[in-house]
Amino acid sequence: MKKIDELPENVGRIVIAGHIHPDGDCVGSCLGLKNYLSVIRPRAQVDIYLEKFSEDFGFLQGAGEVCHELPEREPYDVAFVLDCSDTERLGDAVKYFTAAKRRICIDHHITNEGFSDENIICPDASSTCEVLYSLMEDSFVNRAVAECLYTGIVHDTGVFKHSNTKEETMRIAGRLITKGADPSYIIDETFYKKTFAQNKALARALDTAELWLDGAVIGSVITEKDFEELGIGSGDLDGIVDQLRVTDGVEAAVFLYEAPEGKCKVSMRANGSVDVSRIAREFGGGGHVKAAGCTVSGGWREIIDQIAGRIAEQLEH
């Protein structure tokens, strides 16, 4: 597939799914594709399956139509998997993907080895939303589509400040603004606006942060006790690792929080020569060179020691 418009005119049932714990790029790409399909294939039934995501994205058209439950369905004609590097990251929605008659993956993760029948993977792109725009006919991109895609690009580039921001990224972002995306509203509503609970979580993470490896790495943890004391949830932790990353002099930032079943969720960001995607893959996760994550079983102190060791090995070389 070179363009989404190549889908048959009479396509009947389409399913769209993204990765577990959906972020801005995942939500934006899934909703952007749904809104685009409603323009070019208005007779098709299009369903989206995602885990619950931040209410900050509720203004995007179609957000209220996303299915969070996964009932039994007849096989779909086409399954689109977006912003997802492997089937494990699909979670329970994998059953719709495997049963579909035609399966298409659109992604930008360097760790994606091509698990679908048709794979459109562009590791040089800033985001899946950027890849998705390149597969669309500009004349059919309306305001609803533009808002979704702009949101995804903003989140995966950290408001255009990460190293994955290229000339093409800015060109596409500019075009989406022309199509109706409001930069100030989208950035404030989905990136900078924080709830009181989020501010409390950030304050605790910064207060307990530590420097390792002679200041080359900064790390912080939110424990189960912190969750209880502060009255916060895992959804209040967005942006913490990015705030840690901008600490002067650090090469990498590591943030983790205790999750159920004796596991820890780990997020990593890099400024310099550290490839955090390599480390994430060692622990069964994935991502990008400068931004990656994983879920690891064990105590957080042990996990921190292991990750710090991997970072030290890279810095030595």
Same domain, 44 and 176: yes
Average pLDDT over residues 175-197: 96
Same domain, 235 and 175: no
Average pLDDT over residues 170-193: 97
Same domain, 12 and 131: yes
Domain of 114: which CATH number? 3.90.1640.10
Same domain, 60 and 200: no
Same domain, 84 and 153: yes
Q: What are phi and psi of 186, to 5 degrees?
A: -65, -45
Average pLDDT over residues 174-201: 96
Binned at pLDDT 50, 70 and 90, residue 38 comes out as: very high
Q: Give the count of domains, the chain.
A: 2
Same domain, 121 and 221: no
pLDDT of 251 strictly over 80: yes
DSSP string, 52-63: ---GGGTTSTTG
Domain that holds residue 228: 196-316
Domain of 206: which CATH number? 3.10.310.30
Same domain, 270 and 239: yes
Binned at pLDDT 50, 70 and 90, residue 115 comes out as: very high
Average pLDDT over residues 252-256: 97
Q: Which residues contact 28 (CB under 8 A, 6 or more apart)?
A: 57, 60, 127, 129, 148, 149, 150, 151, 152, 153, 155
Same domain, 113 and 64: yes
Same domain, 80 and 221: no
Q: Which residues contact 105 (CB under 8 A, 6 or more apart)?
A: 80, 81, 82, 84, 112, 114, 115, 116, 118, 119, 120, 121
Residue pLDDT, tens place only, 13-29? 999 999 998 999 999 99
Residue pLDDT, tens place only, 195-238? 999 999 999 999 999 999 999 999 999 999 999 999 999 989 98
pLDDT at 265: 96
Residue pLDDT, tens place only, 138-169? 999 999 999 999 999 999 999 998 889 999 99
Q: 162, 192, 222 — which closes off a domain?
A: 192
State how far the Cα of 159 lies from the Cα of 239, in Å rounded to an integer: 12
Same domain, 12 and 150: yes
Q: 166, 192, 218 — which closes off a domain?
A: 192
Question: Average pLDDT, whole number, for the chain?
Answer: 95
Residue pLDDT, tens place only, 257-284? 999 999 999 999 999 889 999 999 999 9
Same domain, 301 and 204: yes
pLDDT of 317 strictly over 80: no
pLDDT of 288 strictly over 90: no
Whether residue 44 contacts residue 14, with contact meaning beta carbons closer than 8 Å, is answered with: yes
In the beta sheet, which residues pair with residue 119? 105
Binned at pLDDT 50, 70 and 90, residue 111 comes out as: confident
Residue pLDDT, tens place only, 51-64? 999 899 999 999 99
pLDDT at 235: 86
Q: What is the pTM of this model?
A: 0.89
Q: 149, 173, 192 — which closes off a domain?
A: 192
Q: Is the dihedral angle over the CA atoms 60, 62, 63, 64 positive or is it negative?
A: positive
Same domain, 157 and 285: no
